[in-house]
Structure 1
Amino acid sequence: MDAPLKIETHGLTLAFGDRVIQRDVALRVRQGSIFALMGASGCGKSTVLKGLVGLLRPIAGTVLVDGESYWEVPEARRTLINRRYGVLFQSAALWSSLTVAENVALPLRLFTRQKPAAIADLVRLKLALVGMEAAANLMPAELSGGMRKRAGLARALALDPEVLFFDEPSAGLDPITSKRLDDLILELREGLGTTIVLVSHELPSLFSIADDGAFLDAEAHTVIATGAPTWLRDHCMHPTVQAFMHRERVPDERAADERGTGDADGR
């Protein structure tokens, strides 16, 4: 039996001014899944993520969170929905003037009424979850790229989110550090039951951790295939998807006609 839907979109269209980035985007993110937004650089993956987390209002369409229409509820209600989210941005977005522990504590101080001692305990717990307890008193400038990502993840976990959003979590990391981060993401899903939505074009990460996803196309400005990355790699015959999954040059128009360009949907 399929898990219940956590997030779904219908006809989601996002734009900057008159420039449409993605249109008619339909997503179905099930509870407890690791859902990947895939596609080449510049196709609009991060833009769609911003539409999901409330950083960019769509010009059309709906975003449903547990069946509730995110953009149609009052702002106060959206704020409460956002409390159920944790977001790790590509740069980790740590405050440079705060220690690692202070960065993790910030959401707890802003959005809860916990006493300082309780916040300190929670910070130690979140840092331990990501293997960063020894770095609590370091400044962001003293951290490696992988450590910054893990510190940002600890902060994203501060409020015990139901959904974690990752924007290119492996970007800029060496293969070993990237693999460790992938393993950590899997542990969070297995241990906490967290639903995870990630933006990535890193094939090793996509194949090893994502169990569902949507492929966004820069030319069509919409979703052209859905399914697990491994399923898309092995079964989707859309030439753009195949080129991406096998790191090939996108075929020319004649080759596309010969191979077929039908949409695909797989689990």
Structure 2
Amino acid sequence: MTDTRKTVLSMQDVTLAFGPKVIQKNISLEVKKGSIFAVMGGSGCGKSTLLKSMIGLLRPTAGEYQVDGENYWSGTEAERTELNHRFGVLFQSGALWSSMTLGENVALPLQMFTDLKPDVIRRLVELKLGFVGLLPAIDMSPSEISGGMRKRAGLARAIALDPDILFFDEPSAGLDPITSARLDDLILNLRDGLGATVVIVSHELSSLFHIADDGIFLDAKSKIPIAHGSPRDLRDHCDEPQVHAFMHRERNEEGRN
């Protein structure tokens, strides 16, 4: 069945490299509006590097990256900054400022990129923290809360400017299964409630199968993408040995126990 949704992000024959060291090449992908697109693969395949390129932190050495049909790298720095305001990013660690309260962390993008008055910013901060279930912790510091709460606080900051494209780097890393499942549900609520498009880097199978509806699989050895599709489709129908091993590894590990 053809997906008729609008393409929000696309790459065509992109190569990512650090000097002479090629991380991935021949990357072509399309992220549809309202989808949850997974970047998958084993350790060292370049998942986080691809995410960094998609948020503008790493310029491809070849190929083209488009946001809503606009070539991201052909414009001026001011034009790229304007496109970046459409992005919300949750880094793997949460990346909260330890010297600030949760409320101050969430307020920071609003203070930097809007002319809103302090009382309006405060109400918006309360709204964002309330959305992720952290309003009672608004005046707490990151050191006073759990890892799962820090991830949710980072998520509240990522949506502070109401972005329509969200990027998550291993959001479930280090979380227990129950907290991870709650975070997955929160991501689904963001997609459904705010109409956001989500790009997620993850190796957590339960999370990938639960929330992602499309994706790309990167291979560390060949340094090219070797599969496209939803995690469930790749699990059930892909015969690539690396993909099969990745998608069935929990079953394989259970068999060895």
TM band (smaller chain): over 0.9
Matching of residue 183 in structure 1 with residue 200 in structure 2: no
Higher RCO (Cα < 8 Å, 6 or more apart): 2
Amino acid at match of 2:30: R
Q: Distance in 2 between matches of 1:94 and 1:203?
A: 26
Deviation at 1:222, TM superposition (A): 1.2
Counterpart of 1:161 in structure 2 is: 163
| TM value normalised by structure 1 | 0.92
Structure 1 residues 186 and 106: alpha-carbon distance in aligned structure 2, compared to 1, 3 A threshold: same
What does 1:70-219 align with in structure 2 at a 5 Å threshold?
Answer: 70-219=72-221
Partner deviation per Cα, 1:29-67 (whole Å, 9 max, x = no partner): 000000000001111000000000001111111110000
User: Aligned residue pairs: how many?
Assistant: 250
Amino acid at match of 2:218: L
Q: Distance in 2 between matches of 1:204 and 1:249?
A: 12
Deviation at 1:248, TM superposition (A): 7.4
Counterpart of 2:242 in structure 1 is: 240
Partner deviation per Cα, 1:62-120 (whole Å, 9 max, x = no partner): 11000000011111000000000000000000001000000000000000000000000
Q: Distance in 1 between matches of 2:179 and 2:161?
A: 25
Aligned Cα root-mean-square deviation (Å): 1.2
Deviation at 1:226, TM superposition (A): 0.2
Counterpart of 1:53 in structure 2 is: 55
Partner deviation per Cα, 1:117-168 (whole Å, 9 max, x = no partner): 0000000000011111011000011110100000000000000001000000
Counterpart of 2:36 in structure 1 is: 34
Deviation at 1:185, TM superposition (A): 0.3
Partner deviation per Cα, 1:145-203 (whole Å, 9 max, x = no partner): 10000000000000000100000000000000000000000011011110000000100
Counterpart of 1:263 in structure 2 is: none
Counterpart of 2:255 in structure 1 is: none
SS of aligned partner of 2:81: helix
Q: Is the 8 A contact 1:243 1:249 kept in 2?
A: no
Deviation at 1:17, TM superposition (A): 1.7
What are the ranges of 5 or more consecutive residues in structure 2 without an aligned counterpart? 253-257
SS of aligned partner of 2:155: helix
Q: Identify which of 54, 66, 81 aligns with 2:68.
A: 66
Q: Distance in 2 between matches of 1:198 and 1:61?
A: 22
Structure 1 residues 249 and 204: alpha-carbon distance in aligned structure 2, compared to 1, 3 A threshold: closer
Runs of 4+ in 1 over 6 A off after TM superposition: none
| TM value normalised by structure 2 | 0.96
What are the ranges of 5 or more consecutive residues in structure 1 without an aligned counterpart? 251-267
